Amino acid sequence: MDAHRWLTFCRILSVFVFAGLVTGCVENDYPSSLRYPLRDDPILVKPLETTPTGFDKPGELFDLLKKVRDEKDKNNILPIRLVSVQKRSVEALLRQLFGRPRFPQVNGVDPAIIEELKLDEDTLAEGSRLYRLHCLHCHGLTGNGRGPTAPWVNPHPRDYRPGIFKFTSSGQIEQQRKPLRSDLVRTLRQGIEGTSMPSFGLLPDDEIEALVSYVIHLSIRGQTEMLVLSDLMEKNKAREQKELSPEEQRKEVEAELANLQEFALQVVENVAREWQQAQSSLIVPLTEAPENLRTAGASPTSEVAKESIRNGFELFMSAKAGCGGCHQDFGRKERFLNDAWGTIVRPADLVKGVYRGGRRPIDLYWRIHSGVNGAGMPAIFNGLRPSDSELKALAAIDKLDGQTKREAENLLAEIKRLQLPKEELDVLLTDYDKFTRKDELKNQLASQRTWDIVNFLLVLPYPKMRQAHGIDIH
Amino acid sequence: MSVHETKVHEEHHELSFIQKYIFSQDHKIIGIQFLFSGLIFLVLGGVLALLVRLQLGWPHADQGWLGQILDWSPAAGQRMSPEQYNTFFTMHATVMIFFVIIPLLTGAFGNFTIPLMIGAPDMAFPKLNMMSYWFMWPGFIIMLLSFSLGVAPGGAAGAGWTSYPTLASIGMPVGGGAESPAAPNSGWGQILWLLSLIFVGVSSMMGSVNYITTIINMRAPGMTLFRMPLTVWGMFITAILQAFALPVLTVALVLQTLDKTISTTFFLPPGVLEFGNWTTNPGGGQPILWQHLFWFYSHPAVYIMILPAMGIVSDVISTFSRKPLFGYRPMVYAICGIAGLGFIVWGHHMFQSGMDPRLGTGFMIATIMIALPSAVKTFNWLGTTWRGNLHLTTAMLNALGFVALFVIGGLSGLFMAATPVDVFIHDTYFIVAHIHYVLFMSSLFGIFAGIYYWFPKMFGRLMNETAGKVHFFLTFIFGNMTFYPMHLVGAAGLRRRIFDPTMTGFESNVQFLNQFMSVSAFLLGAAQLIFAVNFFYSLFWGKEAGRNPWRSNTLEWTTPSPPPHGNFEVTPVVYHGPYEYSVPGMEDDHVMQTRKLEGVPVGAGH
Amino acid sequence: MNRLWSILFGVVMTLAVLAFVIAPAMGWWLPENIGTFYGVDTLFYVILATTGFFFVLTEAILVYNIFAFTDRGEKADYSHGNHRLEMFWTAVPGVLLLLLAILQIRTWEEIKYQTRMPTPDHVFEVSARQFEWRIRYPNAIQLDRITSAWQDKSEPALARNWQQFPHYDDVHVVNEVHTWKDANVRIYLKSKDVLHSFYLPNLRLKQDAVPGKTIPVWFRATRANTIYNEQTREWVDRYNYEKKRFDSSLRYDLACAELCGWGHYKMLGRLFVHPDREDYLNWLKSAQEKQRQTQAQ
């Protein structure tokens, strides 16, 4: 009997020892030996030209991406065709620049940029740990948006590597447009409504900041990798045309690789600078939004709001803004497009009242102002600027008739809403050439028109509002 | 009906190996086939359980070598993915319930014991019986196949063993393929899961028809219904339960299969459901309908998984207490009561499901009352051991373990039955504790008791008692260490079926217990190796058993071990009930049912 | 020797009882109840006491039987049962169980019956989707109109209308449930895709969200945990008003309790209980203003 008791005691003891042992070697982090694998999927130079007829079905993401490869040399680059010595040196170079998943870094960049973008090693290490916890199974190890869950959610998780992010508020030019940190923070906090990107709003602020830093790290790394690989592929293509002997080829490849580091450093520097510049290029609306958008409880049925919404409706339907070309039947009609990542998107159904980039007026303003990057939604701000001739025609408004007259009257009404000083308005309406603030006026008008569209979009989903504003969508 | 002649069939030697051991029509071989396949799947189910425990103890931990074996790629952080976790617990439950507990209890013991215990040469429909076993195999194979499904993380079904729509049932709109927008593992994995269970259902149906017919028609002379051992009673009532409840499940399975394959909308509500960009066709059904259909079977199934074990345990306890079973008739009535009430309590799984709360009140009262027959059974087992002469063989220890732990499982059921308490503990670990105390700690101890008890009759050899006792000791301790803390974490609110239990405040409070349970579970798993070794060792090198090693009364012990084809040399004639132990005035402390007693008073079981 | 097996049973069962004794001290116990469904806890303890009694009783008899009657060297008693005893142990638990059943009907009705739900002070809609809680609050004016239209217990058309047709000025928030202390809350619970379950452990509340159905849910939180942080200009939870400091135990989680797919475990939210209606309305106003931002900051 003593044996039994003794045995029981030993067993219970051993349980705790075992528990201690097991818990002792648990690491909630990437294995320290793990490396970022080198990219081997095709690099899409521009969206595919085929017209998709619908979304890919669950689980078919990889079939879809195979189509990208099948397009052959038309508009993509296949880094898998690089020779192994090239791949090896690129991989080593990237490791040197960006570290490993457990110890991410961004090297070769001005320390000021590192500081501004919060890309220091401690933040990144924390970010990488959290990324593994919360993001990895969708967004993947390298941020390629191809984690195990990726084919099973649509819209598919974002691929950070092209350095394109949909919902940004930066005023950079289209090819370089990077998000502000605050854009990424907002996406993490709010999630993306109507997609599988959940809200991480309940995480503490510092964790969200660390995650944003790590996403920026992955994006810079991915873009650098993409550009370096593209460059090497270009060189390979050029060399193939030269018909060199294998020996000569080998030598040339080696010579190229010797210069690789310099090139890569330049790329990193550029990409990082784009990110840095984005941080100070916030789009600030030039005109104040109508009162009903600004103030809680302000009625969208006031006369000012009515005018603005009406104008927004007309702009939406007009060729000038061109919204209706894609958002046919206010987006209710399904149309499918290829996006910059090789996946399929559709223009949003604007009657649903689901706004992926956020439902604040400013969010919609930014979307309209500079489009949705990568998704085929263009920036229409410039298109909303009235032309000189339109403005000039105001002086002779009485002599116009028909369609042109109505347009001029509308424009006049819009200008009146800007509440210019009396004397300026007089100059504008009598002698346009003497008007000094032409460009500013055009921008202001475009801004006001953007707000009008925002105003219209915000009432569009509500049947009662549509009724009040005479918007008929049937 | 082909009743075999009841004498030793020497001429049956010409049966080929395949006819004798593979496509056998002999109920004993079929029983043993069920036993082996059940035990094999027990290993699979156990491994899945350990994977679940591994994840719960150390979520997000780098699983190192294990991750490499299971292909948890570094790109996935070298750990389980949430989809895989869902698959593991879903398949654990499915395998354990449909491939282990039910086949072992009704398939293995039902087949093996019923004809032997009622004195019949074989089942009423031997061919049907063979088909019943072989219909399990498509189920087995389909279920195993689903593990190897394509690129899906997990692949196999992962919507819980209850497979609630719309998570489980939803597919893409017409012509849109079988994959599901709701979850990666509710596409083909789910379809295979449904098909597999349809096969298992058909198999069980054939078995239950066979059992009912055999028990009604083929009892030996003198074997009145109230002279049947409780094992047979348990099997009889179980078979009736199955016969009435299974068609409902089969229908539900077929409906969900149609929903998934040809886009019918039995479980799809009106209105379009949205999964990001994917939308479904508007339906005309109700997700809750599935829950009613499913639980209309699956609640009785809980009793299907416990009544035979109760019967086995009653036999074992009476035998090894050397004392007549206390209250034979109340025990039979209790079984019938459980079965009868079992049909009207399914709604207690659905208190929070959004069905009319007034229904909840009705189901609650029925559910509370079902505790009564269970209590009566427990008291009767205690009454049987009271002033008995207990022989603590391994079988007896396991049966006593059953009683001790069934008390816990039964009592914890009261918490869930109470509708207001259920509001809090529904879908928490409290229910996981309850189900494991009933199905693991009770049913499995019943199964172990049955195996240790009938092993000599099945294979003619005794299992090693020392190894058996060590196995019982460790299983009892580690089992309790694994499952008992679940009550506490359940009371703390820990949700079931979650991949990471450290995400909320109230759940991370109990993470220590999660790790404790995980370690205990590993040890519990390891302890089963003793059983495996003992089982196979004894199969070949165990001590010869003889006809009646336990000096038991029932008919199966009157034939040689293992019994020959046709079971009995002469048709047995039964003179009294099965539990005439320690009859006063007799030298021997047991009286075989076939022995006619003159002038000795024989009690209730006549 | 064999009778020493009773020790195993005895020790394990004693530990089982002990586990329940020490669990509350270790924090492995019911989380703080900040709601009004006290009946849940009371019933839990009543059932715990009842089952505890029967547990100890039956296990003690079992252990005693194993100890006393194992290999006792004489023949067992020859008895087939005792009719009176059977009647006794059928009738006593039967009556007890029936009492237990009757005892809980009231609490159940209080929690779930729509006809018993109190007139609400606060109304909002919760839409569950994979894997988040989208919550829609009426603005202050709407809230006033809806609640004041709620004269008796029946739901006014205004509320049903608001529930069916989102309003232009509704406040949309993700994963954050806001209410104030002692407010009777009425939630319209919906689901956009699969089954979810709205689970607030601290309120002893759980209700599945079913696609295609709108299910009314009510609760009343009686302990505030949310305060306005002047510096960040945000409302933060976990504030202990009695002790005037933050306390992590005052984090009231909202979780999904019904398996809803791979992200089920992280379908979480938080309950913010404001000290009073005014503070709630301030928050609502600030949330509404945030939603109406026309400048980046």
Mean pLDDT score of chain B:
90
State the pLDDT confidence band at B2, using cuts at 50, 70 and 90: very low
Please state, in angstroms and rounded to a whole number, the distance separating the CA atoms of residues B522 and B517. 9
- Is 80 exceeded by the pLDDT of residue B384? yes
Give how many domains chain B has, as a whole number: 1
pLDDT of B6 reads 43
Q: Is B63 contained in some domain?
A: yes
Residue A296 has its nearest CB partner, among C266, C269, C292, at: C292
Question: From the CB of residue A20, how many other CB atoms can be counted at a distance below 10 Å?
Answer: 11
State the DSSP string of C212-232: T--EEEEEE--S---EEETTT
Q: Report the chain A residue with the minimal C-alpha distance to residue B518.
A: A19
Chains meeting B at 3+ CB pairs closer than 8 A?
A, C
- Which residues from chain B sit within 8 angstroms of residue C192, using beta carbons? 273-274
Residues B20-42: tens digit of each pLDDT: 888 899 999 999 999 999 999 99
Nearest to C226 by CA among C287, C267, C293, C172: C287
Residues B100-119: tens digit of each pLDDT: 999 999 999 999 999 999 99
- Is 70 exceeded by the pLDDT of residue B7? no
Instruction: Evaluate whether A431 touches C137 at the Cβ level (below 8 Å).
Output: no
The answer to whether B481 faces chain A, any CB pair under 8 Å, is yes
Residues B500-540: tens digit of each pLDDT: 999 899 998 899 999 999 999 999 999 999 999 999 999 99
Question: What SS3 class is residue B129?
Answer: helix
State the pLDDT confidence band at A10, using cuts at 50, 70 and 90: low
Residue C111 has its nearest CB partner, among B274, B420, B476, at: B420
Q: Report the chain A residue with the minimal C-alpha distance to residue B520.
A: A15
State the pLDDT confidence band at A17, using cuts at 50, 70 and 90: low
State the DSSP string of A35-63: -PPPP-SPEESS---S--SSPPPTT-HHH
- For chain A, the residue count is 474
Size of interface A-B (CB pairs under 8 A): 112
How confident is the model over B372-386, as a mean pLDDT?
Answer: 95
State the pLDDT confidence band at A466, using cuts at 50, 70 and 90: very high
Residue A133 has its nearest CB partner, among B60, B74, B519, at: B60
Residues B126-136: tens digit of each pLDDT: 999 999 999 99
Taking the CA of residue A185 and the nearest CA in chain B, the distance in Å comes to: 21
- Which residues from chain B sit within 8 angstroms of residue A29, using beta carbons? 62
pLDDT of B9 reads 47
Residues C207-251: tens digit of each pLDDT: 999 999 999 999 999 999 999 999 988 999 999 999 999 998 899
Chains meeting C at 3+ CB pairs closer than 8 A?
A, B
Contact flag C292-A288 (C-beta cutoff 8 Å): no
Q: Is B564 contained in some domain?
A: no
State the pLDDT confidence band at A26, using cuts at 50, 70 and 90: low
Q: Tokens standing for C37?
A: 């469904």
- Dihedral sign (CA B300, B302, B303, B305): positive
pLDDT of B13 reads 55
Taking the CA of residue A458 and the nearest CA in chain C, the distance in Å comes to: 8
- Is 70 exceeded by the pLDDT of residue A73? no
Q: What is the CATH number of the domain that holds B182?
A: 1.20.210.10
Residues A408-460: tens digit of each pLDDT: 888 999 999 988 888 888 888 888 888 888 899 999 999 999 999 999 999 99
Mean pLDDT score of chain C:
93
Q: Residue A147 belongs to what H/E stretch?
A: none
The answer to whether A337 faces chain C, any CB pair under 8 Å, is no
- Which residues from chain C sit within 8 angstroms of residue A463, using beta carbons? 165
Residues A297-324: tens digit of each pLDDT: 788 888 889 999 999 999 999 888 889 8
Please state, in angstroms and rounded to a whole number, the distance separating the CA atoms of residues A114 and A129. 19
Q: Residue C179 belongs to what H/E stretch?
A: strand C176-180
Residue extents of the structural domains in chain C = 2-70+82-112, 118-291
Could you give the ipTM of this predicted complex?
0.95
The DSSP bridge pattern shows strands C252-256 and C196-200 to be antiparallel
pLDDT of A404 reads 85
- Which residues from chain B sit within 8 angstroms of residue C73, using beta carbons? 389
Taking the CA of residue A462 and the nearest CA in chain C, the distance in Å comes to: 6
Instruction: Find the domain containing B402 and state its range.
Output: 34-558
Contact flag B386-C65 (C-beta cutoff 8 Å): yes
pLDDT above 90 covers what percent of chain B?
A: 77
| C118-291 classified as CATH 3.40.50.620 | no
Q: Report the chain A residue with the minimal C-alpha distance to residue C138.
A: A297
How confident is the model over A192-199, as a mean pLDDT?
Answer: 92
Residues A375-407: tens digit of each pLDDT: 989 999 999 999 988 888 888 888 888 888 888
Please state, in angstroms and rounded to a whole number, the distance separating the CA atoms of residues B404 and C270. 41
- Which residues from chain A sit within 8 angstroms of residue B274, using beta carbons? 194
Token pair 């490869």 is found at A69
Q: Report the chain C residue with the minimal C-alpha distance to residue B154.
A: C262
- Is 80 exceeded by the pLDDT of residue B73? no
Mean pLDDT score of chain A:
88
Contact flag B158-C262 (C-beta cutoff 8 Å): yes
